[in-house]
């Protein structure tokens, strides 16, 4: 069992990973992003460690990606548009509605925007980016985790923990295995293969941590 402080630090570390990985699939990576994360070697020293095989694979892929910084930004940009750009014919669109098996869940559970509305959450790009975009879902998950970390009342923390797990199970883990497979099969860079694995593994780990909390 983790102490409260250990749990907080661990979840904060995973939130950092979700911020990074979510931003990489939400918009085209910039030169500044490549410099910030790859040139500074941040991805060689991730803020958390995990025994999850998928996490270990992601760490290895990211450590060995972007070896040539001069052309890395161009390769990442090309891969982003091939995989995710919804204005074309993307090979791995990061949209729940594309991959989710709707027969396994109720109509209410299928509507992720209803989850956002129930918390009064409205993001800046709403109306321009679909509610079920994985980058938006990950951003919302980080908000829920932040709320959880701010709560001192144990009954309230328990309820928020249940809500986080409900969101993860209904709107992320229900479809990212298929999305992860599409990215793995179609990405031309280790970067996006690693990012897809990092997202999948991080959400799995957060689910396991909160289930045992």
Q: pLDDT digits over 131-151, tens only?
A: 999 999 999 999 999 999 999
42 or 50, which is more confident? 50
The neighbouring-strand residues paired with 112 are none
Average confidence (pLDDT) over 56-85:
86
Average confidence (pLDDT) over 65-90:
84
Q: pLDDT digits over 29-48, tens only?
A: 877 776 667 666 666 678 89
pLDDT of residue 197: 97
By the 10 Å C-beta count (0-12 exposed, 13-18 middle, 19+ buried), 48 is classed as middle
pLDDT of residue 200: 98
Q: Is the pLDDT of residue 211 over 50?
A: yes
pLDDT of residue 103: 44
Average confidence (pLDDT) over 82-91:
87
Dihedral sign computed on CA atoms, order 22, 27, 28, 29: negative
Q: Is the pLDDT of residue 105 over 50?
A: no
Which of 37-41, 104-108, 178-182, 197-201 has the lowest average pLDDT?
104-108
Average confidence (pLDDT) over 21-25:
92
Tell me the backbone φ, ψ of residue 188, rounded to 5 degrees: -95, -5
pTM: 0.91
């Amino acid at each position: 069992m983790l102490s409260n402080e250990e749990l907080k630090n661990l979840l904060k570390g995973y939130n950092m990973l979700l911020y990074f990985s979510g931003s990489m699939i939400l918009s085209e990576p910039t030169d500044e992003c490549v410099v910030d994360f790859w040139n500074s070697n941040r991805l060689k020293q991730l803020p958390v460690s995990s025994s999850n095989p998928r996490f270990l694979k992601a760490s290895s892929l990211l450590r060995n990606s972007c070896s040539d910084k001069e052309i890395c930004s161009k390769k990442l940009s090309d891969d982003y548009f091939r995989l995710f750009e919804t204005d074309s014919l993307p090979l791995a669109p990061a949209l729940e509605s594309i991959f989710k098996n709707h027969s396994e869940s109720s109509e209410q559970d299928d509507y992720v925007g209803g989850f956002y509305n129930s918390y009064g959450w409205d993001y800046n790009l709403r109306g321009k980016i679909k509610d079920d975009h994985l980058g938006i879902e990950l951003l919302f998950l980080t908000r829920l985790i932040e709320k959880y970390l701010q709560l001192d009342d144990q009954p309230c923390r328990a309820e928020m923990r249940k809500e986080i797990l409900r969101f993860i199970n209904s709107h992320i883990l229900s479809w990212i295995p298929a999305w992860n497979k599409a990215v793995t099969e179609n990405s031309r860079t280790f970067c996006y293969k690693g990012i897809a694995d990092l997202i999948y593994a991080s959400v799995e780990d957060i689910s396991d941590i909160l289930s045992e909390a």
